[in-house]
Structures are given as structure tokens and as C-alpha cells.
A and B are shown apart, each in its own frame.
Chain A
Amino acid sequence: MGKALIELSGIERIFYLGDSEVHALRQLELRIDPGEYLAVMGPSGSGKSTLLNLLGLLDHPNEGTYRLEGRDVTTLSPEEQARVRSERIGFVFQSFHLVPRLTAAENIALPMTLAGIDPAQRAVRVKQALKDYGLFDRASHRPNELSGGQRQRVAIARATIMQPAMILADEPTGNLDRATGEEVMRLLEELNSRGVTLIVVTHDTVLGARARRQLLMEDGELIHDSGKK
């Protein structure tokens, strides 16, 4: 077995609601290799979104360690974690999360802008991304002038523009009709086929079944892992 991309061990995530404790994640052990295609499924409140946030370094475990590419990222400072997010992780959200006042091109360029990449290089990469995602004639449109599918394509282009090691997608087709959802999934799977690790959170079993490995969660626990050897 080669080097793991993600290694979670003994992860606990506890939320406090009033004086009651909610275990969003319990004793989670997980190993994901580079290039895998995972679907995390389960009913709402099962902890799948918490897991995704944790993997994306947006949330911190109360217990346990998270090793990303062999490096313990739970102990990193917020600035270093931001850098890991910037360089290694791409997010795709159910509600797209585009900045409404920026054009499609500017939205795609946003991670590079934040990372301080110089404008000439930004322009080249955005142009390529617009071409790759069929958005070339939509470059100067704002999100409210785009269809749902186009918006999500912009979001995917944005998630991949920094060439991350993994894409974390939270219900990427939740706000789309079947046809556009299919198209978006095909784009994501195509990325995966080029070596990007793809982790999709969904409660759609049909969508989940497309993944090569399924994780089933319930009450913060991993109750089924199809890839477990």
C-alpha cells in the first residue's frame, strides 16, 4: 500500500447544545488513498457534513489526529491551515457559493487572487478553465445571469483552479435538475479520472452508488465502508 492522502484516527467531534453533548463524530478511523472516489452517505444529522468540514480543515476535531499527505494538520496554526486549504483542497457546495458581485471569470480566479498569484498567470489559467468548462462566452457574466448548471460549473472551475489534491463536494447536485446534475457529476468524475481525489457527500443513493467506495454514516459513526479490506 502506498502513501495515504488522508488518515483519520480516533476523531471525535462534540457539539454542545445547551448542557447536552452531541457527538457529531465518534471514534472515526479512516484512510483515503490518493485518487480515490468516495461517497459519504447517511441521513441528515449523521455527521457526514461535519466529516467533510473536518477534512476541509474548516472544523477541528475535539480528539484524534488528521494526517493529510503524512502531515498532522490538526496542530497547524490557522494561517497554515488556510494555506493548506488554498493549495490542496477544493470545495464544491450545494448552493454554489459564488460571490454575486464578481463575474464568472473573477469568481474562478478568486482562490488565485487570495493566494496572491500574479495577474498574468491568473488570466492564463482562468482562460483555460473557462474553455475546459464550456464557460468561455459566459466569462463576464455575473452569477445571477447564469443557469444553475453554469453556476456549478463556475464553482467547480474555482475549486480546481489551484490544482488541489482533493475535491470536497457537499451535495453538488442538490440544487440542480437531473440532467444538469448528471453533467456536473460527469465533470467531477472526469477530474477524478485525472487523479484528483473526489469526496462527495450526498444522501442520494443513486449518486452515491456511482462512487468506487461508499461510506455510510449514522449518528456520527461509520457503519459501513465498502472499501474496507
Chain B
Amino acid sequence: MRAPDLIRFARDAATGNPLRSSLLVLAMAIGVAAVVVLTALGDGARRYVVNEFSSLGTNLVIVLPGRSQTGGFNPGSAITSTPRDLSIDDAQSLLRASAVRRVAPLTIGTSEISYGGKLREVMVAGTTAQYIDVRTLKLAQGRFLADGDWRRGASEAVIGARIRNEVFGAETALGQLIRIGDRRFRVVGIMASTGQGLGMNTDEVVFVPVSLALAMFNSNTLFRVLVEANNREAIEAAKTQVTEIIKLRHEGEEDVTVITQDAVLATFDKLLGTLTLAVAGIAAISLAVAGILVMNVMLVSVTQRTSEIGLLKALGATGATIRSAFLTEAAMLSLAGAVLGYLLGQAGAALLRQLYPVFPAYPPDWAVLAGLGTALITGILFGVLPARQAARLDPVQSLAKR
């Protein structure tokens, strides 16, 4: 039988029983759509996290006190295991490194803000003027903290958009005096609203000069030092230099952890990539179920068409011809199901994107290809048994059936 005839024959056979065929196509479509939508969700989550991390700032190297990895024996660690403070001086000294462009120390604590009789708990971030550039944040009004001696600071505060709304309401916030803890600050700037994000949300933060924040929390150690490398290529150099400088200042003990944004990103990327893969695997189970359905439907079809198969044999069809006719039918139905499922899945992903615009729910190409491929392979694989059964039918008995 010629290939076009085979395809036409299989198509006619499939459309000859619309209910059976559409059920089969639907089952396959659901399987493929599940793969497409679920991987879109998984990969969307990955992209979302990656984007959020990227928005932390560019070419970022982060220094945190304490060592999270052992770096071999060191005389210092024999004497003490308590990490030294990561001081403002330490942070400032990092500016000497050639690969470093900007440095912003950061200390975090909670306190209360009060204004006009209103009291609200807030997160207080102590930092310097460079922070806004390092984190690539935007101001809505006024200016950020003034540049100057890191160890002294004017009593100025920059407040987040939500704080501004809740504390000041319709009033003008700029230039007002507020109380944070037991100190008074003048509001010099208001951050632009950033909305929900994975990184630190600046909407509910009050920025004050780092020295004042440390004094307020009665602490000597910084929470983080954010270091911006000159460019992407300089990130590794910046990391080495930063480590060296801190080590020198801390009597040769490497008691800080220096992480690069890329490393954090890579970890999340890998983690969520694996998650997507797992989700795709679960969705693929529905394809296996669809495959079993293909087999059953095709077996029923063989039974229903027994006399036709007998006739084809009488008319000179070989077992191979009948086998390929049934296999072609199974493959065509699977293909139709796969294509329909792909469209459904893409529509579902598009709907998700419509409902949650911040969530980039695009199915990854590999998942789409794998989904379509698995659908076809299961369809054909599970079509083999019915096709073989059809080819093996005894023509005399088949013809006797009406």
C-alpha cells in the first residue's frame, strides 16, 4: 500500500468513528497540555526567581560575617571560632580593591517609627549613599542618604512608599521629623514603590545612615557588605580581592563568607530547573495513561472492525499492510492529540500569564518537544499490540462476523 493511501485509509478509519477517535485525541491532548502547563509553571517559577535575583543589583558580590565553609587549617581558628565583627572600617577598606566600583554596608534591624501620634513597626536598614546605586533602586521623591563620612551620619531617613502612605497619609512627608526608636530623623527622601519582590522589599523599609543604625541596635557588626564589581568579568577578581583584604584586616583569618550573585543565581536556577523536570515527569505519567487508553481504544477498534480486516485480507492485504494501517491510525490520533494538547497547553500558559503578569509562565522548548515526542512514542508503542492483533486475525472467522 502506498504511503498516501495508507494515510488516507487510516484517516477515514479514524473519522469513521468520531466518538472513539475524539476520546482518544482528548486523552492525549490532556496529557500533553498537562506537560506544557506544568512545565510552564515550573520554568516560570525559575525565571521569576532568577529575574528577582538579577534585580538585586548588577555584578554584585556579597560579604557576610562568619564562615560558612571551612577553608583548611588556620592559626586563627585554633584560638577562636567566634568571627570578628564585620565593621564599617572593613567595608570602607574594600574600596581599595581595584576590581571594586562601589561598596555599600548594610545593617538591618526592626524598630518603631512614630509621627504625629502614629506608631508603626518598621524594618530599619542602615547603609550609605552608595546603596541606591548598588541595588539600582529608584527614588520617588527627594534624595537618598547624603554621601559623607561613613562613621558619622546626619539624622536623615529615607522611607519606603508604603511607610509613607501609612504614616503620613495625605500629608507631605518630605522634610518632616519622625522618631525611630529613641532618635529623631528628618525625612529627606521617599523610595519608589517596588511592589512584591523576592529581594528585600523597600516599600516597608526606612533607610538611615549606617553609623546611626549600628548605634541604635547597639551593634558593631554589619549584616552584609554589598560590593559592586567593575563589570561582569571583574566579579571573580573582586571576590578574591575582597577576601584578601578582609583576611588581612582580621589577622589572617578568613572569617567572612563572600558570595557572588551568580553563585546564588546558579543554585536557584539548578534547584528550580530540577523542580520543573520533576513536575514534567509527573505530567508525563498522564501521557502514559493516555497511551494505555490508545491501546484499549485501538483494541476495541480491532474487534469492531474484525470483518473489515477479514475482507482486507481476502482482497490481498498482507499482515504487514494491516499492521501499518492500524499503526498509522494510532500515530495520527496521537499526533492530533499532541497538537491539540500543545495548543491547549500554550493557551493555558497564556491565561496564566494574563492572570499573573509578573509570572513568566512560558513552557520551555525542551518540555514541549519532550511532551510531543512522548505522546507520539506512547501512541505508537501502545498501538503496536492492537495492530499486531489485527494482522494476526484469521480471515475465515473474521469474514464470518457481521
Complex CA distance for A102 and B13, rounded to whole angstroms? 9
A97 touches B399 (CB 8 A): yes
Residues of A within 8 A of B216 (CB): none
Residues of B within 8 A of A79 (CB): 318-320
Residues of B within 8 A of A42 (CB): none
Specify which of B307, B321, B402 is in contact with A114 (CB 8 Å cutoff): B321
B315 touches A110 (CB 8 A): yes
Distance from A159 Cβ to chain B, minimum over Cβ atoms (Å) = 9
| B162 in the interface (beta carbon within 8 A) | no
B307 touches A97 (CB 8 A): yes
Distance from A23 Cβ to chain B, minimum over Cβ atoms (Å) = 17
Residues of B within 8 A of A83 (CB): 316, 318
Contact A85:B315 (CB < 8 A) given known A95-B402, A101-B13: yes
Distance from B142 Cβ to chain A, minimum over Cβ atoms (Å) = 78
Query: How many chain A residues have a CB neighbour from B under 8 Å?
Result: 30
Complex CA distance for A116 and B321, rounded to whole angstroms? 10
Dominant secondary structure of chain B at its interface with chain A? helix
Nearest A residue to B2, CB-CB = A116
| A78 in the interface (beta carbon within 8 A) | yes
A99 touches B313 (CB 8 A): no
Contact A82:B316 (CB < 8 A) given known A97-B399, A102-B12: yes
Distance from B261 Cβ to chain A, minimum over Cβ atoms (Å) = 64
B318 touches A58 (CB 8 A): no
Nearest A residue to B12, CB-CB = A101
Residues of B within 8 A of A85 (CB): 313-316
7 A–B contacts from the bound complex (CB under 8 Å): A58-B395, A59-B396, A79-B319, A89-B316, A97-B311, A113-B5, A114-B312
Given known contacts A78-B318, A83-B318, A110-B315, what 19 new A-B pairs fall within 8 Å (CB)?
Answer: A53-B395, A78-B319, A82-B321, A83-B316, A85-B314, A86-B316, A86-B317, A97-B311, A97-B399, A99-B311, A100-B16, A110-B312, A111-B315, A114-B1, A114-B312, A114-B315, A118-B2, A119-B5, A158-B315
